[in-house]
């Protein structure tokens, strides 16, 4: 009879006494900053108008996909006035590969018209004004304000930021607005802009949704997620 092997029970990970402790949050911010120094928005743009339109187009698609269509779009319609006057079928053709292209074409043209008619062709610098543009909700407004104007009006919560924030026990919420509110309580305001960029890049490169690369993660010792694929044997006083 073949000898039986006894399964080795993997020790349960020690839960953080307080995952929102200042020291732990500071360690997370420090690790992200070291891993992604001077990281910027991945959407290609030259001005606030282009960033606004590109961010509207980025809904339900990738930044890479948006960056493939915006060169032609902005070459043909480089200003809010020209975009506002563009033939809608031509806009649909250009942005077709971004998905939901009919709704997006109407939104970007509507946004351009509001910019011309209400804001003199200039992209406003407040959440309340930006969210008056078709296709612009709070996340898009935060992207424009943070990435172009350097205004930390809030924290951009896309799918990566929401997912990683839950994995790091910084929130339990799934609604982006509620996630943002939780993060604003623990992330210092002078880190809001970079924190979003860093988490987005980390989510794309390391903390991948279906198979996180935990062995390569600079946050591994600070993370107690049940979705981890690997864990070090070292204990950290911040865990």
63, 104, 139, 182: the catalytic one is: 139
Encode pLDDT of 184-203 as tens digits. 999 999 999 999 999 999 99
Confidence of residue 13 (pLDDT cuts 50, 70, 90): low
- Per-residue pLDDT at 236: 45
- Per-residue pLDDT at 5: 45
Report all structural domains of the chain as residue ranges with CATH numbers, in order of start: 22-40+154-222 (1.10.1670.10), 48-147 (1.10.340.30)
Compute how many other C-beta atoms are within 10 angstroms of the C-beta atom of residue 220.
Answer: 21
158, 178, 221, 228: the catalytic one is: 158
Residues 6+ apart with CB under 8 A from 181: none
Encode pLDDT of 101-126 as tens digits. 999 999 999 999 999 999 999 999 99
Assess whether 158 carries a catalytic annotation.
yes
Half-sphere exposure (Cβ direction) of 184: Cα atoms closer than 13 Å:
13
CA distance 123 to 133: 10
Residues 6+ apart with CB under 8 A from 61: 98, 99
């Amino acid at each position: 009879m073949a000898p039986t092997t006894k399964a080795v029970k993997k020790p349960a990970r020690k839960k953080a006494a307080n995952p929102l402790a200042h020291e732990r949050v500071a360690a997370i911010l420090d690790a992200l900053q070291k891993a992604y120094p001077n990281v910027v928005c991945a959407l290609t743009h030259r001005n606030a108008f282009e960033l606004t339109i590109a961010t509207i187009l980025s809904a339900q698609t990738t930044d890479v996909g948006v960056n493939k269509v915006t060169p032609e779009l902005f070459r043909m319609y480089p200003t809010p006035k020209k975009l506002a006057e563009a033939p809608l079928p031509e806009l649909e053709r250009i942005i077709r590969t971004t998905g939901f292209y009919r709704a997006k074409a109407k939104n970007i043209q509507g946004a351009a018209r509001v910019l011309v008619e209400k804001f003199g062709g200039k992209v406003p610098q407040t959440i309340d004004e930006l969210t008056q543009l078709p296709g612009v909700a709070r996340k898009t407004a935060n992207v424009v304000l943070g990435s172009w104007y350097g205004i930390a009006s809030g924290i951009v919560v896309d799918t990566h930021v929401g997912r990683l924030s839950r994995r790091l026990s910084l929130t339990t919420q799934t609604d982006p607005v509620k996630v943002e509110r939780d993060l604003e309580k623990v992330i210092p305001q002078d880190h809001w802009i970079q924190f979003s960029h860093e988490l987005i890049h980390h989510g794309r490169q390391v903390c991948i949704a279906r198979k996180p690369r935990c062995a390569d993660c600079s946050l591994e010792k600070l993370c107690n997620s049940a979705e981890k694929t690997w864990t070090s044997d070292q204990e950290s006083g911040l865990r």
